[in-house]
Structure 1
Amino acid sequence: MAHEVVEGFKFEQRHGKERVRVARVWKTPQGRHFVVEWRVGISLFSDCVNSYLRDDNSDIVATDTMKNTVYAKAKECSDILSVEDFAILLAKHFVSFYQKVTGAIVNIVEKPWERVTVDGQPHQHGFKLGSEKHTAEAIVQKSGSLQLTSGIEGLSVLKTTQSGFVNFIRDKYTALPDTRERILATEVTALWRYSYESLYTLPQKPLYFTDKYLEVKTVLADTFFGPPNTGVYSPSVQNTLYLMAKATLNRFPDIAYVHLKMPNLHFLPVNISNKDGPIVKFEDDVYLPTDEPHGSIQASLSRLWSKL
């Protein structure tokens, strides 16, 4: 992925295909169906400088071929697999099948289709769309080196108490009052990078990364909410974010890096008043929800030995 010098210029290039949508259905002999829907993006690093400099496309993998490869490889997957494993499979194909391709980035967003329950029974072939999305990115080099990242988009969480914000910097522009009682709401975007650095060191357990995704999501949510009966006090989004990231690294030894983005989606206590004072007295029970403008808080945490 390094640059090269071309006609006296530093030159970097890549090409690929974005927003390739594919759904795959698996059917067991017992009639139970499984379905995934993926939006695939592919980016190839390849020795195809001539296509930029002159009339010579002989070293290019056509982006339409990349699109067709997504469908062909999905068909070849006879057993259900994680979105991470499919991203790795695609990236591995491009770097091994094409001599000119030196590296591949495959990123995938999985829609949250969830099996429905009817009359207390899981439906054999019925699904509904959930909320947060599962993301994956595999970067594979011809040497077999790997960088694997998973993530969550749109994990919306809210708690109606056990949150406050006090003793922040005050100046002539500060209007926000101290409070130890507020709603805390956010939409978590999380990324975590695994410590596997080679295709040859990956876990061989089927659906390993699917299980890990569900476990990470549980740890993030449990840390945000706290125990079911008492909860846990949040003195700031910053502190809660840090505790969520730390809990993830502490719980999963094969995760080397976590990045969390948590906008503070404000629920403003309603205030109806006139020159004589409040018309209606609200007591932490009626709020104005707003998602703009919102606070923006993000941070990353990685192990000291991590190369990241």
Structure 2
Amino acid sequence: MEDGFKLQQRHGKARVRVGRVWRDGDGTHHFSEWNVSISLLSDCLPAYVAGDNSDIVATDTMKNTVYAKAKECSQRLPVEDFAIELAKHFTSYYKQVTAAIIRIVEKPWERVNINGRPHAHGFKLGSEKHTTEVFLEKSGVLQVTSGIEGLAVLKTTKSGFEGFIRDKYTMLPETQERMLATEITALWRYSFKSLSSVPMKNHYFAEMYMDVKKVLLRTFFGCPKEGVYSPSVQSTLYDMAKVALGRFPELVSIQLKMPNLHFLPVNLSSKDNPAIVKFGDDVYLPTDEPHGSIEATLSRIHSKI
């Protein structure tokens, strides 16, 4: 660029909310709600340096495209596939666009059961959210990252924390018995590098999302009866990441964020009984501020996240 400056730019539309209903022939309905953010890398330098907007894709056009493409999806599809469809459209339809980044957060609407039977058109809002980010270049180079936000988990025992650094500021006692609670954020990147390498199997990404979530939960909790001991959040996080990469060869990396949400045993004293009385690990003060912040990324050798 002239005048000794270098300009890097992108523009897009954020928080485009869309709900989509699909109706089966037997009267069963399916519902998805997506929050879509679009970012386009494009050759529209004149808009910045000369006030010439002739090469700009209007952000309102991007918003309308989300609704139009949702309408075109006549068959139910995972959020990753919808993100890929949007990215393909923007990189192929507009000659100025060199790459598209599509990020979508899916709300966890779940079918309700009434008297043990699934309702044909009734849904309730769950907790954790399914996320994806698709990066697609005009050349066809592709990156797909999926994940989970807000997966809150807790176990009331089989957790401890010992042997950490102790100095004049340390007040935390060591323990082999504590509650462990966290809200998991996970991001995993697929090995696919082009559109042609994405599996053609229907609902592939939806099944992978459920399978990865099950593996993470199973590793966190252990078997239903005995559970599994956690010597630290760090150790449990690493085990979860390692098991996920071992179970799914199509993943090249996984990032986990697991804040340590504290449940502090209540200690009480009174005028009649001045001695501190510990409530036997059964009464706790829940607190999430401040909380421990633990995160890590595990990648296969020679892979990049």
TM-score, normalised to structure 2, is 0.98
**1:133 matches 2:136:** no
CA–CA separation in structure 1 for the residues paired with 2:163 and 2:269:
27
CA–CA separation in structure 2 for the residues paired with 1:11 and 1:266:
45
Q: Where in structure 2 are the equivalents of 1:35-184 lying within 5 Å?
A: 35-184=31-180
Query: In the TM superposition, what is the alpha-carbon distance from 1:281 to its structure 2 partner?
Result: 3.7
Runs (5+) with no aligned partner, structure 2: none
From 189, 208, 211, the equivalent of 1:212 is 208
Per-residue CA shift, 1:180-210, capped at 9, x if unaligned?
Answer: 0000000000000000000111000111001
Query: In the TM superposition, what is the alpha-carbon distance from 1:174 to its structure 2 partner?
Result: 0.3
**Aligned Cα RMSD in Å?**
1.1
Partner of 1:241: 237
Partner of 1:283: 280
**1:294 matches 2:277:** no
CA–CA separation in structure 2 for the residues paired with 1:227 and 1:87:
36
Per-residue CA shift, 1:163-185, capped at 9, x if unaligned?
Answer: 00001000000000000000000
Partner of 2:26: 30
Per-residue CA shift, 1:219-276, capped at 9, x if unaligned?
Answer: 0010000010000000000000000000110010100010000000000010112696
CA–CA separation in structure 1 for the residues paired with 2:105 and 2:216:
19
Per-residue CA shift, 1:44-78, capped at 9, x if unaligned?
Answer: 00000000011210000000000000000000000
Q: Which amino acid aligns with 2:144?
A: L
CA–CA separation in structure 2 for the residues paired with 1:176 and 1:122:
48
Query: In the TM superposition, what is the alpha-carbon distance from 1:10 to its structure 2 partner?
Result: 1.5
Per-residue CA shift, 1:64-110, capped at 9, x if unaligned?
Answer: 00000000000000000000000010011000000000000000000
CA–CA separation in structure 2 for the residues paired with 1:237 and 1:18:
34
**1:263 matches 2:222:** no
Q: CA 1:264–1:58 in structure 2 vs 1: closer, same or farther (change >3 Å)?
A: same
Partner secondary structure for residue 289 of structure 2:
coil
CA–CA separation in structure 2 for the residues paired with 1:222 and 1:272:
36
Partner secondary structure for residue 149 of structure 1:
strand
- Extract structure 1 runs of 4+ deviating beyond 2 A: 273-281
Q: Which amino acid aligns with 1:181?
A: E
CA–CA separation in structure 1 for the residues paired with 2:288 and 2:198:
40
TM-score, normalised to structure 1, is 0.97
Query: In the TM superposition, what is the alpha-carbon distance from 1:119 to its structure 2 partner?
Result: 1.2
Runs (5+) with no aligned partner, structure 1: none
Partner secondary structure for residue 241 of structure 1:
helix
Query: In the TM superposition, what is the alpha-carbon distance from 1:277 to its structure 2 partner?
Result: 4.2
Query: In the TM superposition, what is the alpha-carbon distance from 1:112 to its structure 2 partner?
Result: 0.2
Per-residue CA shift, 1:267-297, capped at 9, x if unaligned?
Answer: 0010112696435441000000000000000
CA–CA separation in structure 2 for the residues paired with 1:160 and 1:243:
19
CA–CA separation in structure 1 for the residues paired with 2:125 and 2:281:
33
Partner secondary structure for residue 188 of structure 1:
strand
Per-residue CA shift, 1:21-65, capped at 9, x if unaligned?
Answer: 000000011101000000000000000000001121000000000
CA–CA separation in structure 1 for the residues paired with 2:212 and 2:148:
9
Query: In the TM superposition, what is the alpha-carbon distance from 1:7 to its structure 2 partner?
Result: 2.8
CA–CA separation in structure 2 for the residues paired with 1:56 and 1:177:
65
